[in-house]
Amino acid sequence: MVAHSKIIRILPALAVNQDGGCVVTDPEGSTAVANTSTVSKDGGGGGGASADAEHDPYFELVVSLPEIQVKTNEEEEDEMVRLRCKLFPYNTLETPAEWKERGTAAHVKILKHSKKKTVRVLMRRDKTLKIRANHYITPFVELKPNCGSDRAWVWSVPADLADEEPKQELFAVRFANAQSKSHFCRSLYGVEN
């Protein structure tokens, strides 16, 4: 309570006089009048257009940061397919279990490692680049059409690494059109055969 009253007593009182100038009264009772003769009605200084022409808003850099190369682990892989789609993992933790949309529409890629010859499915969110799906294509991956949609596939993977821990997942992916859906299927089975 005492601290608040000290703060209030320290703050000066502001008022506007008849000429439009500011009058400041401090806690001891002395007053001061602010000079507003050079301030124009539009809020600029009294210097006019010449002061604006001379103003140079250049600032020296305080700290310079070096450019950093970010490693995505895609450097040694060749991109075989890149299609825009929405990904829906089947969430069994909720009751009742349901399909959950994992982020907004993004690009799903099929990547083939140049040395190891392994192939994986990778999907990242567009702006944050957070991984939404990351799993190898094995003979166990079987695409099944989603009931009621000519643009979607469903498949199960034994170990998806999107959350950095292997987790069995059931995915559904919905493409913008049927041509993208069939192109994804041809690319996936072309890899397996």
Task: Return the pLDDT at 50.
Answer: 58
The model's pTM is 0.61
**DSSP characters for 57-123?**
-----S--PPP-PPP-S-TTEEEEEEEEEEEEEEE-SSSS-EE---SSSEEEEEEEETTT--EEEEE
Q: Give burial (CB, 10 Å; 0-12/13-18/19+) of 90.
A: middle
**Residues 174/86, Cβ–Cβ less than 8 Å:** yes
Q: How much is the mean pLDDT over the chain?
A: 77
Contacts with 173 (C-beta within 8 Å, 6 or more apart), sequence order? 85, 86, 87, 88, 108, 152, 153, 184
Task: Return the pLDDT at 87.
Answer: 92
Task: Return the pLDDT at 23.
Answer: 55
1 falls in which pLDDT band (50, 70, 90)? Answer: very low
* Mean pLDDT on 172-180: 91
Pick from 15-24, 60-69, 105-114, 173-182: least confident:
15-24
Task: Return the pLDDT at 126.
Answer: 85
pLDDT greater than 60 at residue 20: no
CA 100 vs CA 155, 160, 163, 192: distances in Å: 15, 16, 15, 28
pLDDT greater than 50 at residue 95: yes
pLDDT digits (tens, 9 = 90+) for 22-80: 555 555 555 555 555 554 455 544 555 555 667 778 888 888 889 988 888 888 999 99
* Mean pLDDT on 172-192: 84
